A and B are shown apart, each in its own frame.
Chain A
């Protein structure tokens, strides 16, 4: 060692700075990390995401006061209907997808509605496009998270199951009166989503 000894206070301040910096760094990494660790998937609107064995492509979400079920009966609600337009396929075998869930900013979770036609069968590399309906309270609109579970939900801490998340925004002011019609799922030509 040469030169003057480093003053004690400088050492303390440096150590504190390193600690705080490390904490902030880990926070940032955690916020940007895929959900459920390296096996989770963060989706982007309009882009294919693979969360094995499901491949999903979400094109958007819209909100309505009333929708029509497959028999053209209007489905009334005290909340609103959020319709998510998406297409999906599997990677290997035909199967029903797991759960699709809409989560609001408060953490309230809403599954696809049981009142109308829901998920459709997925086929390997054959993309079918359709619409999923979620019934949510009006104050749930705003920043939403759409989750796609290939085989049923699990608590992230218990079962490291892969699932995909997508950040969606549906403006509370953008609720249309409707009634919106839930389109039947259609098989898409190769390359289309």
Chain B
């Protein structure tokens, strides 16, 4: 830049505009980048890093992890309680009220639930997902105690309960010898909105292939045909 005698304001701004214009062109930026050695080294390092990652396959797509297979009879800790799945049955004779109109039967997954929460805890639909049947509702509708058909939605500390978790299904004749129950863990945190402790869904733990056993404990069946 020629700095000579006193320059006027318009000459100054013209000079600044020229400088910016020179910088904002592609050759201008390229020149700015490689002007000094530190800049050249930094650029070279980034380029080498990208080349190496590409060379070892770091940019390749990763296939989703297959679900972990859990065993029947294995006690799985899903967070608020542990779940031990045994079998499932299909029945339209279960003595509880409230089967939806579209459903023609219940799928009941027989399991043992136990919690160690001091104040007790209700069963949470977020932990359980059933597939392999045409479900009317994604969430289980009811949990009944196998011993006497009472509601077992609320678990108390250190009292394991043997229950059937019920989903209403349609087209129950098409259900085979196996259904899949996916267990997802939940964790407790303070809800941002309500500032109260709430259980949030976490990672999927695994999938259980549940075998069929249509011998339903008589206590939960309707006595009248």
A106-B118, A108-B118, A109-B119 as given contacts; A137 in contact with B159, CB under 8 Å: yes
For residue A69, give the distance in angstroms from its CB to the closest CB of chain B: 7
Q: Are B151 and A114 neighbours in the complex by a CB distance under 8 Å?
A: yes
Assess whether B157 is interfacial by the CB under 8 Å rule.
yes
B148:A115 contact, CB within 8 angstroms = yes
Give the chain A neighbours of B75 by CB distance below 8 A. none
Assess whether B147 is in contact with A135, with CB atoms less than 8 Å apart: no
Task: Report A-chain residues with C-beta under 8 Å of the C-beta of B118.
Answer: 106-109
Contacts of A6 in B (CB 8 A): none
How many residues of chain A have a CB within 8 Å of chain B?
20
Residues of A within 8 A of B157 (CB): 108-110, 137
The residues in B between 116 and 143 inclusive whose CB is less than 8 angstroms from any CB of A are 118-120
**B65-90 near A? 1/0 per residue, CB < 8 Å:** 00000000000000000000000000
B172 at the interface (CB under 8 A from A): no
Q: How far is the CA of A107 from the CA of B116 in the complex (A)?
A: 11
Interface residues of B in 158-178 (CB under 8 A from A): 158-160
Instruction: Encode contact with A along B99-113: 1 for CB under 8 Å, 0 otherwise.
Output: 000000000000000
Residues in chain A near residue B147, CB distance under 8 A: 75-76
A111 close to chain B: CB less than 8 A: yes
What CA separation (Å) do A76 and B147 show in the bound complex?
Answer: 8
Q: How far is the CB of B81 from chain A (nearest CB, A)?
A: 14
Q: How far is the CA of A77 from the CA of B159 in the complex (A)?
A: 9
Question: Which residues on B sit within 8 Å (CB–CB) of A152?
Answer: none
Q: Quick one: CB contact mask for A76-120 with B, threshold 8 Å, 1 for yes?
A: 111100000000000000000000000000111111001100000
Of all chain B residues, which has the CB nearest A116?
B150
Contact residues in B for A77 (Cβ distance below 8 Å): 159
Residue B156 CB within 8 A of the other chain: yes
- Cα(A1)–Cα(B120), bound, Å: 65
Q: What are the residues of chain A within 8 A of B145 when measuring CB–CB? A: 115
Considering only CB atoms, which chain A residue lies closest to B156 in the complex? A110
Which residues of the partner chain A approach B151 to less than 8 Å between Cβ atoms? Answer: 114
Residues of B near A140 (CB, < 8 A) are 158
Q: Could you say which of A108, A111, A140 has the most chain B C-beta atoms within 10 Å of its C-beta? A: A108
A79 cross-chain contacts in B, Cβ below 8 A: 159
Give the Cβ gap from A97 to chain B, nearest Cβ, in Å.
Answer: 19
Q: A114-B151, A136-B159 are in contact. List 12 more A-B contacts (CB 8 A).
A: A75-B148, A78-B159, A109-B120, A109-B156, A109-B157, A110-B156, A110-B157, A111-B154, A135-B156, A137-B159, A139-B158, A140-B158
The chain B residues found within 8 Å of chain A, CB to CB, are 118-120, 145, 147-148, 150-151, 154, 156-160
